[in-house]
Amino acid sequence: MAETRKAEEIFKEFKEHSISEFFKKNRQMLGYSGKIRSLVTVVHEYVTNGLDACEEAGILPDIGVEVKEVAEEKYKITITDNGPGIPSKFVGKALATILAGTKFHRYVQQRGQQGIGAAGCTLFSQMTTGQPIAVRSCTGTGKAFSCKIAIDTMNNKPVVTEMEDLPDKFRGLSVEGIFADVKYENSDHGVYEYLRRTALSNPHAQIKFIDPEGKESLFVRAVDKVPERPKPTKPHPLGLFINDLLEFAHSSESRKISSFLADTFARVTPNKVDELKPFAKTVDFEKSPKQLTWEDAESLIKAFKEVKWIAPDATTITAIGEEQIKVALKNILNPEFMNVVERKPKVFRGGIPFIVEAAVAFGGTSGRETSEGYAGNVLRFANRVPLLFDSGTCAITIAAKNVDWKRYSIDIDTQPVSIFVNVSSVHIPYSGVGKEAIAQEDEIIEEIKLAVMEAARGVQHYISGKHKAAEEATRYKTIMRYAKQLAQDVAYMTGSDQKKIEDKIEKLVLKHYPKVKENESADEGEKAEEAIAEEAEEE
């Protein structure tokens, strides 16, 4: 018979753990699963931080990335940016404290959302090599300094050592770390491809990359304009859950529930509060929001669904922009033809706004090379950030698969086609902490599908026109191959001028194949764009 143990004896092992300890034991949740993916995750976290920092400071980003092999499956990664830098008193918290930073608590569109990324890199270096991260920073006007940072995982506290002032002045941040249990690979899921896609979705950034063999790649800036800074916004009532409302209420400084609602949430006015009252009769709108109960919050959430609301303010979302996407695709893929679409703002979960941009590029270096030729590929982005992994569960992949491509004269399996999709929102619903796939929200999937179909229609015009022109040109050449002999025979029988007869035969043939002549003076791409414009006007 098994020996029984008392509760007191069992609970002697009861212990509180820090968030750093948790992620140390569950590193796969941060994206550190698989050697290739782990290396890309490190680059991704630092590059997105650099881009966010530069844009917030109104600076055109210059990002440098160097990956150097120091031993088997062990690499030194150095990433620099020309952003505002980090002041010395914040460097530890910014780069070595999980869930600390400028992003997690703000309701504003950003690449990073959780305050985990850079601290996760520090933790990963510490776990695999026992080495701290070396940092150099200067705000441009303040003192330049260098230091090394690590994490006290038991307490989720930064450990900053070797702090030194630097004599030279510069602007930006440089981080350097050594990471083991990682692998560099030049593939569709490697660092080079990640940076190439980053350049696609961030044409205003210039990125310099040095790979482990010393080969230098430069993704040249294609747009000399910093994107507009996204504006902070308030949460919309239709996007709230009961617990959300309670947390907002209990931390509010407003004196009454009525003023709390108007101060805290988007589209709530005193008149709208009056509309809510008949549907939330059990709620005392005059009492302090700190006294709001679960039953009160439940009643308010139900009332929110009973009244009509103006859609959330989408001016707080900054998309890439149609022209910028065209410039970027031309710069990186140089396609034979492309069609770019930016949809109107929509909402998911009832109150969170988002914008979908989609493009279909055909020819050039679009798609991916296979052993049998070419195949199409889906380029996934969320708030301008490339998503390389977990594609099977991503809303973008699901939407693209649901499109009937044959209807648009496109064969995804054999043609050089790239499907570009970027989702922008103040809150991207990632399916995991690793932020590599967008959750399968029905509204998002449907909107992506509509955007991709709209972009595909333009490519269909081009491909169909190209095929038709090729067929007509072949028929025209076949007929004209015998025109000279026919003109010669007719001239012999009638005594007429052979050249004049040839010209008349050509005019007669061109009446049946007029597009052959048109194609000599008009590019198929231009004609397809005209057809798209006409279709848009009709819609």
Contacts of 353 (CB under 8 A, 6+ apart): 236, 311, 312, 313, 314, 316, 317, 345, 346, 347, 425, 426
Average the pLDDT over 285-291 and give the result: 94
Amino acid identity at 479: I
Could you tell me if 138 and 158 are in contact, meaning their C-beta atoms sit under 8 angstroms apart? no
Please state, for a pLDDT cut of 70, what percent of the chain lies above it: 83
Dihedral sign computed on CA atoms, order 295, 297, 300, 301: negative
Question: Which amino acid, one-letter code, is at 485?
Answer: Q
- Which tens digits make up the pLDDT trace of 135-183? 999 987 778 999 999 988 778 788 999 999 998 888 999 999 999 999 9
pLDDT at 370: 84
Say how far apart CA 354 and CA 234 lie, in whole Å: 14
Residues found in the chain: 539
Residue 155: name the closest of 115, 197, 97, 203 by CA: 97
Ranges of CATH 3.30.565.10 domains, the chain: 19-219
Helix, strand, or coil here: 22?
A: helix
Alpha-carbon span 64 to 57, nearest angstrom? 18
Write out pLDDT tens, residues 225-277: 998 877 777 888 888 889 989 999 999 999 999 999 999 998 899 999 999 99
The gap from C-alpha 532 to its chain's centroid, in whole angstroms, comes to 26
3-state secondary structure of 61: coil
Give residue 161's pLDDT: 94
Residue-level pLDDT at 20: 55
d(CA 335, CA 420): 13
Q: What is the CATH number of domain 19-219?
A: 3.30.565.10
Q: Smallest Cα–Cα separation from 51: which of 198, 219, 217, 233?
A: 198
> Residue 252 has what pLDDT?
92
pLDDT level of residue 471 (50, 70, 90 thresholds): low
CATH of 317-539, one of 3.20.140.10, 1.20.210.10, 3.30.360.10, 3.30.230.10: 3.30.230.10
Please state the separation of Cα 463 from the chain's center in Å.
28
Other Cβ atoms less than 10 A from the Cβ of 391: the count is 17
Parts of the chain belonging to CATH 1.10.8.50: 237-304
Instruction: CATH 3.30.230.10 in the chain: give the residue spans.
Output: 317-539
Packing angle between helix 498-512 and helix 442-481, nearest 10 degrees?
160
Query: Which tokens sit at 104?
Result: 């997690």
pLDDT digits (tens, 9 = 90+) for 194-236: 999 999 999 999 999 999 999 999 999 999 999 887 777 788 8
**312: CB partners within 8 A, 6+ apart:** 233, 236, 239, 266, 267, 345, 347, 351, 352, 353
Per residue in 54-64, pLDDT tens?
998 999 999 99
Q: Which two tokens stand for residue 280?
A: 């939330």
Q: Is the pLDDT of residue 25 over 90?
A: no
Cβ-count burial of 497 within 10 angstroms (0-12 exposed, 13-18 middle, 19+ buried)? Answer: exposed
Q: Write out the CATH class of domain 237-304.
A: mainly alpha
H helix count then E strand count, the chain: 17, 16
Cβ atoms within 10 Å, residue 179: 26
The pair of three-digit structure tokens given for residue 501, joined into one six-digit string = 């007869």
Q: Where are the alpha helices (DSSP H) in 381-495?
A: 395-401, 442-481, 483-494
